[in-house]
Chains A and B, each alone.
Chain A
Amino acid sequence: MDQDSAYTREQVREFEIVGQSVPRVEGYDKVTGRAEYTDDIDLHGMTYAKVYCSPVAHGIIKKVDVSKAKEYPGVLDVIVGEEHPKKYSVNDLLPTETPLAVDKVRYFGEGLAAVVAISEQIAAEALALIDVEIEELPALVNAHDSEASADNLIHDFAKNNTNHTAEQHFGDVDDALAKSDVVVEETFYTSMVNGGFIETQSVVADYDPGKRKLTVYNCNQLAHTLQHTIARTIDMPLDDIRVIIPNVGGGFGGKTEATPSVLIASIMSRKIGRPVKLTYDRDESIYQNKGRHACHLSLKLGFNKDGTIQALDLSILLDGGAHSGWGFVVLWFIAALTHLPYKVRNIRYEGRRVYTNKPTPGAQRSFGGVQARTAVESCFDMAAVELGINPYELRMINAVETGYKCPSVVEVRHSEFKKCLESVATRSDFANKWGKLPRGKGIGFAAGHYSSGGAFLLYNSSRAHSTANIRVDTEAGATVFCGVTDIGQGSTTVMTQIACEVFGIPMRKVNFICQDTMLAPMDNGTMDSRATYGAGHAVKNAALDARSKIFDVAAAHLGVRAEQLQCKDELISSIYDDNRFINFWEAVRMYQEVQGTVFGTGDYTPPQPRGDYDGKIIGPSPAFGFTAQIAEVDVNLRTGQVKVLKYYEATDCGKAVNPASVEGQVEGGVVMGLGQALIEEIVVDRNGRVLNPNLHDYKIPTTMDVPEFDSEIVDAYDPTSAYGGKEVGEAPTGPVCAAIMNAVYDAVGVRLTEVPITPEKVFRAMRGQHSRGLELETTTIGFHNAKIRSV
């Protein structure tokens, strides 16, 4: 490098390890079966708990007699709800849940009692001895009915079973709609789906009676939030509880809350002074759900003739299931998600979330995004038809760019969204296919975005969202302590890459210690696609802090100013003169001789925008990822079966720190969306009983269901990020339902407005178009002829 171009490698974005598809750090353990998950843990004196699940969805508890179960040989204890009536929820937002039902059951499968025994078998046998009497109440299984019910209340405090309401209005929507040349309007329904992680929720609680401390092993995404929930709910000092997250067998948002099992096991372990393991069976896992909210949406979009969007008017009704959970947040999140990725200035949003006697939904990948995108992207397609503008062009006309400021305080600091749109349109030859394929074949466009760690902090404090500490010494190499959780998305690998990039040392010299509240500093956890962006910043800052100390020693030794040093291949050298160098570890050793171990610390908190409207804390994000997608489908004209043949996707995730992992997020995210689009739905009968609490009736996509993929990571670098990277984990799931709905419309000319798009719905819709006699019937199952109004 000559003197005039003496930039650091970061300035010219030439990286050694960032940008490489490095295999997973823990991958060897995972392919050999060594990797330990919660249920794999075996502790000395282990005991096993099982939960008695309510056989009814709504009712008054008259009796839970556990006396016989308590006497059963091998049973150590039995607890019932009234012993532990303290309520909890996510971050204490309107707490409604208790570890076991108290006085009343509100969903099918809710725990009534729990048995702990010397074996799982004995615990299961003892459950059969529990005598339960419940006075059944009518189950409310439809959000509209629930809202209309004034006297049958699921929670006494919630009038009309309403959990939360939300309203936002920016600009003047009525005026903008009146002035629009074209207004499209439609109602939609997105179904309740389950995370479908292959590892059911499991916990080992280990209370040490000598130290009066509790260690909890649980497959959870938010270690520190979980620690708080346990402390508050079972009344223990926070620092007496240590949460350790073993490998997590899939999370997708569903493992961001405390399951009742965590609290039950903690209570029981404290009571009997032995470790307690509680692993849900698949049916229990589905009863505990915390998957995606079912949502009724009613949307109006107004456009000018030139295709510019004028107004967005959305009202929604969320089916909240039995408890509060993430409800408040998802309600506001859907509002926030309507402001992007198109430049709409007049936005009105009205949302309600109501309680029903169903398994409680919570967070799931593209939280709020699937609902918002399904409606908005479908209406874009309808508008394209009406305006006579190709759907790709219509999106390009309205797409946000770097620097865009929403009418709310949401700001897009970096966007290559247009590159995404262009990429899929070109690769799929969209312009020559849309509207031109033979009947039965269709192509559909949809797009979306997602935030990358919002301003919202779960911990109810003003502290940093992520903190990392690093210790560097010749005894252990570089050891990073960070609270972020790897749920399979690869954060441990990405964080290790980031630390290596700063130090210029190989991956195997870095130890990454995370997922342990005693060892790792507080972190907001793995949610909202924040790990690479938020925790990545903290790790980089900590590494830079440690490196500056090492550089000071190297600088004195080499006679080179510290800011003129670089680190590469375990050598610290002058950026001007490669011959002036010192081995990295030699510099570390020299530091240690005089000052001891090298420590570095760094943190990250996203900018805290100040708005003065309701819901302002939800939505702003330091970065947004973008996606554009095109589905090609084949619709069987005889059966209505939709087969997705090919799927094009383009992602703006900034700089891909690990491109193969990014592809994995995109492919997995799209396939999760395909599941919801075509086959997934938790089915509840009119009594609130879950009819498909297993993996043969609750279908998730298999190898046979996935289309051919053609995806691209567009060239991008977000300068606000640690190494240019931002979210990718959630955006790809959002638009999938709409892409397929739009492709089905292109194939057979009927607009499906409800997922899953089953053969029956498509068949009826196709018949409805040809036979007026069937049309009335079909509208009741979620199909409508598109209502398009030209003004």
Chain B
Amino acid sequence: MKQVVHLNINGSPYDVMVAPNATIADVVRRQLGMTGTKLGCEQGDCGACTILIDGKSHLSCITLAVASEGKEIVTIEGLEQNGKLDPIQQAILEKQGVQCGICTPGVIMSAKGLLNENPKPNHEEIVVGMSGNLCRCTGYEKIFDAIEAVVEGEYDDAATPQVGAE
């Protein structure tokens, strides 16, 4: 039996009618049109669907919508503010921690969750913190570079980047 749940997503209230087994990934992708959250396995293996719930990273493909009422949900769409990227987004873009991009929203949300818990992780902590996000393209090097650059303050004053040489 479907029921109405009240979800707080990216700072806005959404009342959605969901089945009890609907996941947050289902709701944001199929009902709310926020397709930035990606699905790679739907079994909690790949991390592409990672979102923040109350500041911590969660796998939205195995998190039920009905269990998420009253919580603060942030998806990839919630990071960029008025055309200004979050430092992690900008670092991933500039350091080429993005190739095909399908894992990228999950990678960024995991990195965000990691830095929320530990703002100054060392390399080992980054490796462990990001181990739940599979990326088949980059070999992870450029993702590490990007997160380390953020940790070192290189992107503290992130502004909208200009793509390409001017």
Contact = CB atoms under 8 A, between A and B. Distances in A.
B101 interface: yes
Given A33-B37, A488-B99, A709-B141, A703 B164 contact: no
Contacts of B94: 23
- Most A-side CB within 10 Å, residue of B35, B137, B165: B137
Interface string B91-103: 0111110111111
A37 B46 CA distance: 17
A250 B135 CA distance: 9
Nearest to A41: B35
B138 A664 contact: yes
B84 to A, nearest CB: 11
Contact of B98 (A24, A252, A695): A24
A17 B165 contact: yes
Contact of B95 (A250, A660, A703): A660
Contacts of A200: 40
B166 A198 contact: no
B125 to A, nearest CB: 11
A32 B40 contact: no
A488 B80 contact: no
A57 to B, nearest CB: 23
Contact of A282 (B40, B136, B162): B40
A489 interface: yes
Interface stretch (B52-60, B64-72, B126-134, B148-156): B126-134
Given A20-B165, A31-B108, A489-B99, A199 B38 contact: yes
Contacts of B75: 33
A59 B128 CA distance: 46
B153 to A, nearest CB: 19
Given A32-B89, A488-B137, A508-B163, A250 B131 contact: no
B79 interface: yes
B99 to A, nearest CB: 4
A252 B76 CA distance: 26
Nearest to B105: A33
A42 B139 contact: no
A200 B48 CA distance: 12
A250 B138 CA distance: 11
B41 to A, nearest CB: 5
A667 B142 CA distance: 9
A22 B93 CA distance: 10
A34 B76 CA distance: 9
Interface residues of A, number: 66
Contacts of B135: 198
A496 B139 CA distance: 25
Nearest to A24: B98
Nearest to B104: A30
A506 B39 CA distance: 35
Interface string A334-351: 000000000000000000
A644 to B, nearest CB: 12
Contact of A507 (B79, B134, B164): B164
Interface stretch (A203-211, A445-453, A668-676): A668-676
Nearest to B94: A23
B99 A664 contact: yes
A672 B138 CA distance: 9
B81 to A, nearest CB: 11
Interface string A4-28: 0000000000001100111111111
A668 B139 contact: yes
A32 B134 contact: no
Residue of A21, A248, A249, A252 with most chain B CB atoms under a 10 A cut-off: A249
A25 B139 CA distance: 21
Nearest to B95: A660
B43 A488 contact: no
Interface in A650-690: 660-661, 663-664, 667-672
Contact of B43 (A496, A668, A696, A709): A696
B29 to A, nearest CB: 8
Nearest to B106: A198
A595 B71 CA distance: 62
B100 A488 contact: yes
B11 interface: no
Interface string A480-508: 00000001111000001000100000111
Contacts of A702: 131-134
A418 to B, nearest CB: 26
Nearest to B96: A660
A500 B137 contact: no
B117 interface: no
A33 B77 contact: yes
Most buried by A among B108, B128, B140: B140
A31 B40 contact: no
A26 B36 CA distance: 14
Nearest to B108: A31
A23 B99 contact: no
Contacts of A670: 139
A30 B165 contact: no
B47 to A, nearest CB: 9
B34 interface: yes
Contact of A663 (B76, B126, B141): B141
B77 A32 contact: yes
A197 interface: yes
B76 A703 contact: no
B119 interface: no
A26 B98 CA distance: 10
Given A17-B164, A33-B105, A667-B139, A250 B45 contact: no
B39 A664 contact: no
A663 B142 contact: yes
Nearest to A39: B39
Scoring B39, B76, B99 by chain A CB atoms within 10 A of each residue's CB, the highest score goes to B99
A108 B37 CA distance: 31
A249 B85 contact: no
A487 B100 CA distance: 6
A195 B130 CA distance: 21
B41 A36 contact: no
A671 B166 contact: no
A196 interface: yes
A706 interface: yes
Nearest to A365: B136
Contacts of B100: 197-199, 247-251, 487-488
B98 A27 contact: yes
B34 A703 contact: no
B133 A703 contact: yes
B127 A700 contact: no
A605 B46 CA distance: 40
Contact of A23 (B45, B101, B164): B164
Contacts of A282: 40-43, 45
A23 B41 contact: no
B35 A33 contact: yes
A40 interface: yes
Contacts of A663: 96, 141-142
Contact of A28 (B39, B126, B142, B161): B161
A121 B112 CA distance: 33
Contacts of B137: 250, 488, 664, 668
A694 interface: yes
A281 interface: yes
A704 interface: yes
A23 B134 CA distance: 22
A35 interface: yes
Interface string B114-129: 0000000000001110
20 contacts: A21-B96, A23-B164, A27-B98, A31-B93, A32-B89, A33-B76, A37-B35, A37-B102, A196-B134, A198-B134, A199-B100, A249-B101, A250-B100, A500-B165, A672-B139, A695-B45, A700-B134, A701-B139, A709-B139, A709-B141
Given A200-B40, A251-B100, 12 more contacts: A25-B163, A27-B163, A30-B101, A30-B104, A31-B85, A32-B85, A198-B40, A247-B102, A488-B137, A500-B164, A672-B136, A703-B127
Lowest 5 CB-CB distances: which A-B pairs, in order?
A: A33-B36, A507-B164, A488-B100, A249-B102, A30-B101
